[in-house]
A = this chain, B = another copy of it.
Amino acid sequence: MNARTRTEERVPLLQAHPGFDRDERGSCPMRDVLDRIGDSWSLLVVINLQERPVRFNALKRSIEGISQRMLTVTLRSLERDGLVRRTVKPTTPPEVEYALTEVGQSIAVPIGALGLWAAQNRDLLVRARARFDAENA
- Chain A contact residues, majority secondary structure: helix
Partner-B contacts on A (CB < 8 A) = 2-3, 6, 10-17, 19-20, 23, 28-36, 38-40, 43-44, 47-48, 50-51, 62-65, 79-83, 103, 106-107, 109-111, 113-122, 124-125, 127-129, 131-133
The answer on a CB contact under 8 Å between A38 and B36 is no
Given the complex of chains A and B, what is the CA–CA distance between A23 and B121 in angstroms?
A: 13
> Which chain B residues lie closer than 8 Å to A40 at the CB level?
2-3, 34-35, 38
Once the chains bind, are B14 and A80 in contact (CB under 8 Å)? no
By a CB distance below 8 angstroms, the chain B residues around A2 are 40
15 contacts between A and B (CB under 8 A): A11-B64, A15-B64, A17-B47, A17-B51, A17-B115, A19-B119, A31-B65, A34-B43, A34-B44, A38-B38, A38-B40, A80-B128, A80-B133, A103-B125, A113-B113
